[in-house]
Structure 1
Amino acid sequence: MAQKIEDSKRALTTLLRHFGEQMDTIPDLVHGRLYHHNVEHMFSSMRTCLSAMDGAFKFIDQADVDDRKAMLEILGGNVGGLLTWLETFAWYPSMAMPEAKEDFVTDNATLRVKKLTQFEVEGRRLLQANPYLERVVDYALWIWVEGASPLHPVRATPENFRIIMGARLDLIAECTLGNFANDIVLEKVNAMRQRDMECLAIAFASRLLDWADFYQPIYQENPSNIDYTIAGHTVIAAWTLSRWIRRFSRALRKVDFPKVVVKVAMDFPRLSAPGSSWRGGPVKSSFTPGLPSHVFIPSLQRVYDALRNVPDLLNAGLLDILVGDLWTPPEGVQHYNWDEESGGTPVQNLVTLSHHPRIARAVTNLRLPDDPVF
């Protein structure tokens, strides 16, 4: 057994060294300074290396604690070349695999980058405090905004959609929601030009709409096949950024993100989700009030957000959702547990906020719906 791990360590070291040694050829590859045959040969060689890397990932996952730690120490110290080649495959998919669809190549690179972010050594992420972590953040932002086109509903299965869209979302969420890389992503988003920041806001809105477009036919047939966590975590990641970066909050409002959230929520009125806050609690509650709660509840914590987001949510139909949840929640689920999340019901929150003219106008301009949403 000891010999096996030593052989595995040597193989991993050799493989990672090869990725690093071949980085110098990338500029010549992508800028047409090599013969076509040489380009094909190089990318073919690197595809073989990436397949071998997948085998190494599997070995690490199955290894015991000590062997896993030894392998990850090698990986963490030599990850630069591997990451560079993954970026190259994602950025130049038609060159990397001419016979494959571009989104297939890019998505496979993304899944491997995601895998790198998931490895842990003694409770600490492998890439945490790693000099290449900033590159991972750059990749996460790029694939979320500029990446391959979303899978088309006609040819994507629910499993593929969950894997691919989940990989993109997991990268941006890893960088945003925990302590893995949030300081770096906040710095980069805060430094964006206004146009780039608006593109990021558009990406969050469009990804949420992509989710709704894909799952709407499935919802009509069998709601149990819907992965609601993709929608929930998309909203949470967007609103986490907006709470720290006011310019991004304005960018989200500029692209009508609060209204998009309400629209998507209302399109799935009978969908239930475990827990009231996407944390997998034992009680089922409704997806429809749950999704906009991730905008409504955080907005209560800052006056700036409350005065802008709450009227947007109300104008988009939040009151219809609240009344529907109180009157007729989906069969088999409980009312959404707003008290646990915000310290009061939405109606109580609105009464408290309505002393301000802007919110008072939004409330008085509404009327109860003739028919509840549910």
Structure 2
Amino acid sequence: MKIINVVGARPNFMKVAPLIEAMNRYPDQIQHLLVHTGQHYDEKMSQAFFVDLGMPRPDINLEVGSGSHAEQTARVLMAFEQVCLREKPDLVVVVGDVNSTLACTLTAKKLGIAVAHVEAGLRSRDMTMPEEINRLCTDVLSDYLFTTDHFAEENLRAEGIAAERIHFVGNVMIDTLLKHRDLAACLDLRQRLGLKPQGYATLTLHRPANVDDRSVFAGILEALAQIAKQLPIVFPIHPRTRKMAEQFGLEHFFQTGLPVRGLWITEPLGYLEFLHLNMAARLVLTDSGGLQEETTALAVPCLTLRPNTERPITCEEGSNILVGNRKENILREAARVLNGAVPTGRLPQLWDGQAAVRIVERLLAHQGGMFP
């Protein structure tokens, strides 16, 4: 069975790494290639993720770069078609919800190639999010839909997806976290930054709904500045967020270095470095999807700066709280966490580090029926 694994953006690396490791257990049955579309093309960050996760360098890099959603999707469609025509895979494996996920799914299906979508069925019900459109379209087309929790399976069934296409396997992101947790714990980054366990918070912030409107962005930063008077906040700043802060004249909220209090920006961190910080944080604030899952696995309170989430399991069973992006809501829920009022939650079913193994075993079991 010849499989192409696709990565397009940094969050994809953590999802594909355990799949590659699981496929390597079956060298006589699986031949696999890694295609990096280059949707995120920061060489420094890409290198850090490949090294941290022990992933092989991509067999093929499409180097599509940035652009509008239409431009980026179109470039991936055109470039990936040539890869599929040349390599003739039996299966394309896509993960997550980035533009590359949808583009490679469309390409493969139009060429009659089976598609497996890992992390299928996630829904925010927010059609202003490009990721939601990518999820919906990818799931309709995919032959195998591998889900992380019962909400995802319920979503797919409600949308009319046949039950035999849906496979509850667990969460590959958690596979990666559990594998690398001990290694991350051994880093000395906290010591170098002068941080004590439970003595700081971490932050990620990049979504357009939060940073593209000056009044919204300023309100979030005002809330963070107040929280940071009690608890220093480490902020590996996204290039987009930095650009918008400069455009709106909001740089005065940011500081560099790490004394006792403040909102302290750093350059983007590698996977192990950020895991190292999050493991011992008292609080994580984010508008990212993956961090909601990671903090649930780490039993660290998480405030999600969005009005919705495609990962409700992290609120139902985990340590995640939806707070939106209004200043007063952020401050209210942060105060509850800092006062110890929020439970740490529990690990959802099958988030046990074996999701990738289950996926590969399902694919091998179905090989005779689905694949030529």
Report the TM-score when normalising by structure 2: 0.24
Q: Which of the two has greater helix per residue? A: 1
Which protein, 1 or 2, shows the higher relative CO under an 8 Å CA cutoff with sep ≥ 6? 2
| Structure of larger gyration radius | 1
